[in-house]
Amino acid sequence: MPLVVMRRAVRETVSGLPREFWWLWTSTLVNRLGAFVATFMALYLTLDRGYSASYAGLVASLHGLGGVVSSLGAGVMTDRLGRRPTLLIAQTSTAASVALLGFMHDPLSIAVVAFLVGMASNASRPAVQAMMADIVRPEDRVRAFSLNYWAINLGFAVSSMAAGFIAEFSYLAGFLIEAGMTLVCALVVFAKLPESRPVRTAKETAVEARLGTVLRDRRFMSVVGLSFLVSLVFQQGFVGLPVAMGQAGFTPADYGLAIAVNGLLIVALQIPVTRFIQHRDPRRLLVISSLLAGYGFGLTAFAGSVGVFALTVCVWTLAEIVNAPTQTGLVVLLSPTHGRGRYQGMYTLSWSLAALIAPLMSGVVIDRLGAEWLWWLCAVVGTVAALGYGMLMSRLPAEEPAGKVPAVAAETAAQVSAAQAPAVGTPTVKVPAVTAGPAAEQTTAEA
């Protein structure tokens, strides 16, 4: 009987999603399966190249800075040039820059190319999220985003294990394998995914949401700010936790054992938890997940053994499982159809900035005040984010049924014609791949 129930649950989880989604999902999985460089970059620079830990940290920061720079530019490209062309440009550029990085030896060259890798690899995120919103029905979006997040974590778990073996054989092989698998992703997009950007009338083009429109959308920008706070908390699992455990006398293997719980739980629980939450009030889910994240890390202040550290990881991992698809679905809900790329780019920026700032923040707090203060600060930030979500979305509809025009931020709605297509809920219109015409119209001023 349990086997029958499990089969039914799996069937209900994967059924009803369009073929294009599964090709996009496959591209994501292949991409993450080949994500070796991020795993062994610090070891490559310090052990293989003989550079200092400070230089390795600088390169990591430049990689993150590249992602910050590309977030908004990729969002503009997604809306102006199209989802498919943006994905192709991002993935081919990533493949080329990753391969080039493997052959760099000079410190300046490594730093510059690492920055380019960060730009290229992050540029695909707004396009993926916008395309997913285009091709999946509103009532299935949380499930689709959850499945995509599951693929990301499954791929990363496998690639992290494989990276160690590849690094023992050849670091250069890791760079080249990642470049090759990223090219495979580009081929999947080229061969199997049509352009999904909805057709725009002349009037809709005239009132197109631009970056200024996004910045003036106070409700959405508040969501971006809250996302940044939550992201700062989640980043501590990978920047603050290993440092704190090391200072407490634990070994790298101890940290690896504790943090492995994160990937295992996501792979095991992401799909069943999503089935439980997908039709529930996103406001309550975001409040609960923010509190779980903050106090999950707050409990780390009391950890004195690997088992207790692993238990705290369980708490904030559950928050991550709930937060990721819910937050992405909220971004789609608040985004006008023809501005999805820019809105997703701004949302991606919140995570990129958190990845850039979190290492600096955790280092300063731990060095000057101690690790316990970092964990109490996480609890405070999680509480502030929960209160923010509760107040901000007090009048936000929990879920938009199919075919219904969703609410968008009042500031955005005031600038968008009443004739504009609804932000979420209108069936997607498939059009052929975008030609060079719209691309030629893109200008810096319009961005």
Of 71-80, 363-372, 378-387, 404-413, the range with the lowest mean pLDDT is 404-413
| Mean pLDDT value across residues 202-216 | 63
Rounded to whole angstroms, the Cα distance separating 60 from 356 reads 9
pLDDT, mean of residues 72-80: 82
Residue scoring higher pLDDT (23 or 272) = 23
Mean pLDDT of 89-103: 92
> pLDDT tier at 53 (50, 70, 90 boundaries)?
low
Question: Higher-confidence residue: 295 or 66?
Answer: 295
**Integer Cα distance of 428 and 22 in angstroms:** 16
Question: For 140-149, 212-221, 335-344, 423-432, which range has the lowest pLDDT when averaged over its residues?
Answer: 423-432
- CA distances 160 to 26, 38, 39, 165, 238, Å, are 19, 9, 6, 9, 14
pLDDT at 324: 85
Mean pLDDT (the chain, rounded): 78
Work out the number of other CB atoms within 10 angstroms of the CB of residue 268.
12
Identify which of 177, 291, 305 has the alpha carbon closest to the alpha carbon of residue 233. 291
- Decide if 164 contacts 41 (C-beta within 8 A): no
Which tokens in the block code for residue 263? 């990937």
The pLDDT score that the predictor gives to residue 316 is 94
Q: Which of 183-197, 275-289, 408-422 has maximum average pLDDT?
A: 183-197
Indicate the pLDDT class of residue 9, thresholds 50, 70 and 90. low
Read off the pTM.
Answer: 0.70
What pLDDT was estimated at residue 238?
79
More confident residue, 72 or 409: 72
Residue-range domains of the chain with CATH: 21-197 (1.20.1250.20), 209-428 (1.20.1250.20)
Task: State residue 37's pLDDT score.
Answer: 74
Query: What 8-state DSSP symbol labels residue 335?
Result: S
